[in-house]
């Protein structure tokens, strides 16, 4: 007998049914159900023969769902009920025993936590692959000068290797964020029931260990209602996608004819339907465009959880679509980034020519005056006057005669012309983290160690 005398209105059924997207939890739900059955065996709710039949039946369900042409029934509300129905077809009424000691509330939360753990680790591994490509490029181009930019205006010269490592360290921070999401999801909600716990003293620690969780939730209300781990993943994915969008944007700019700094591999480029000459950086453009999509997923779940009374509301069904979409998007973008970077080619002559603009040495000239005792703000003004005069005359900084220089400041001497020698602009940045060759070499060594630690972390988590 059911509490209800009426079937769901088709409009409500369409609104309520989550199977079109939560089918992606199938593998996690089957794994969880097998572990739960072992927990029920441990307290005598199931005997050995029943537990064995349930485990084998769930494996047959897994195999059936993997078959080509498999289709769910229209009456399946969600993946959990669909698996329960399929299990019933395999082993009969015994399937009904499996739901003893759990609610769909803690069942769903546990499945989602398992998914977040798996995909957080996958994101870490993909970040590592992109970091490896960036490090390889940085080492290969560690002595290639290029202009650094602020406001997309030439600012100071840097080495290309130094610039590329900026993205390496962004991804290294993303690894830490995804690791936090993984750790956040390693607390098992199963056993929380609908909200108050369950009436069966299942060994939660044993089930958690069986499923790879590090801990069990301390409070059943929090266990059933918590989706912080999903938000943690979405926050990490949003920041990571933002970083990729910045890289993508620079690759679009750099590969333009106006810049000509690089060219993407043809395998990551597209042509034009009308202009035969075009080699468009579509892959890099899509890195830009995908980022707000992931950020929107984060904002969506924040909105769902905002002011939601404890413990469970059907609102929380809306945790899955943004999560699954973000997972697919960020993993695709990270994988594409590694591929894109593997085939990219840089034009040394174009980079070096652009970095040779003497105006990029303005700060070096100001620092020269500071070394001669001029306060920096005063030196800044003096060099600003030099730049203004050069622009008005259409000349370079080195075109000034010693007499003209002394009209700007009595501190100028022949060392002014030495500072304008291109190599000194880069090698003067000897501070830790600077673009000079010595700190860059140290940075590359540190990057190697960081990448090795990321790879080791992945291996450790998978073992």
- Collect all residues with Cβ–Cβ distance below 8 Å to 60 and sequence separation of at least 6: 90
CA distance 139 to 231: 36
Neighbouring CB atoms inside 10 A of 55's CB total 16
**Three-state secondary-structure class, residue 66:** helix
CA distance 277 to 462: 47
Which helix (H) or strand (E) covers residue 209, if one does? helix 204-211
Q: Residue holding tokens 């993407």? A: 264
CA distance 434 to 416: 23
Q: Nearest 5°: phi and psi at 423? A: -60, -35
Contact 216, 204 (CB under 8 A): yes
Contact 341, 133 (CB under 8 A): yes
**Three-state secondary-structure class, residue 346:** strand
CA distance 275 to 267: 18
Residues 371-394: b if buried by 16+ CB within 10 A, e if exposed: eeebeeeebbebbeebeebbeeee
Q: Nearest 5°: phi and psi at 262? A: -155, 170
CA distance 215 to 255: 49
Contact 208, 202 (CB under 8 A): no
Torsion region of 168: left, alpha or beta (phi above 0 gives left; psi -120 to 50 gives alpha): alpha
**Three-state secondary-structure class, residue 351:** helix
* Structural tokens at position 80: 């959990």
Neighbouring CB atoms inside 10 A of 64's CB total 12
Catalytic positions, written as ranges: 151, 272
Angle between helices 228-254 and 104-140 (to 10 degrees): 30
CA distance 57 to 305: 36
């Amino acid at each position: 007998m059911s509490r209800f005398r009426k079937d769901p209105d088709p409009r409500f059924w369409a609104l309520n049914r989550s199977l079109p997207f939560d089918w992606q939890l199938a593998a996690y739900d089957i794994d969880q159900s097998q572990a739960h059955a072992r927990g029920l065996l441990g307290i005598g709710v199931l005997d050995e023969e029943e537990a064995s039949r349930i485990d084998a039946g769930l494996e047959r369900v897994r195999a059936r769902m993997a078959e080509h042409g498999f289709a769910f029934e229209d009456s399946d509300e969600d993946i959990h009920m669909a698996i329960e129905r399929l299990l019933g077809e395999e082993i009969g009424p015994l399937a009904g025993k499996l739901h003893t000691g759990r609610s769909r509330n803690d069942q769903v939360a546990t499945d989602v936590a398992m998914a977040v753990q798996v995909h957080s680790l996958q994101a870490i591994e993909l970040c590592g692959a992109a970091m490896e490509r960036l490090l390889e490029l940085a080492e290969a181009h560690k002595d290639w000068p290029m202009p650094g930019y602020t406001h997309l205006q030439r600012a100071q010269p840097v080495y290309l290797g130094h610039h590329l490592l900026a993205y390496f360290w962004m991804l290294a921070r993303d690894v830490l964020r995804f690791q936090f999401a993984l750790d956040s999801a390693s607390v098992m909600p199963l056993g929380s029931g609908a909200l108050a716990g369950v009436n069966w003293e299942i060994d939660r620690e044993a089930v958690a260990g069986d499923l790879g969780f590090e801990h069990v939730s301390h409070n059943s209300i929090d266990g059933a209602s918590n989706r912080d781990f999903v938000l943690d993943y979405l926050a990490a994915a949003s920041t990571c996608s933002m970083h990729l969008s910045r890289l993508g944007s620079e690759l679009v700019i750099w590969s333009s004819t106006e810049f000509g700094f690089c060219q993407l591999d043809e395998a990551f480029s597209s042509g034009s339907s009308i202009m035969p000459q075009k080699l468009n950086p579509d892959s890099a453009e899509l890195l830009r465009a995908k980022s707000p999509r992931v950020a929107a997923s984060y904002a969506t779940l924040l909105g769902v959880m905002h002011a939601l009374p404890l413990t469970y509301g059907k609102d929380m069904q809306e945790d899955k679509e943004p999560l699954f979409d973000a997972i697919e998007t960020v993993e695709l973008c990270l994988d594409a980034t590694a591929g894109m970077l593997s085939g990219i080619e840089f034009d040394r002559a174009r980079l070096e020519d652009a970095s040779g603009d003497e105006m990029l040495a303005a700060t070096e000239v100001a620092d020269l005056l500071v070394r001669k005792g001029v306060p920096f703000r005063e030196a800044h003004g003096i060099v600003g006057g030099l730049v203004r005069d050069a622009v008005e005359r259409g000349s370079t900084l080195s075109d000034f005669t010693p007499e003209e220089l002394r009209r700007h400041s009595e501190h100028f001497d022949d060392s002014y012309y030495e500072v304008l020698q291109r190599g000194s602009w880069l090698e003067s940045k000897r501070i830790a983290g600077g673009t000079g060759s010595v700190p860059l070499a140290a940075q590359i060594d540190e990057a190697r160690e960081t990448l090795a630690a990321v790879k080791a972390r992945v291996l450790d988590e998978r073992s």
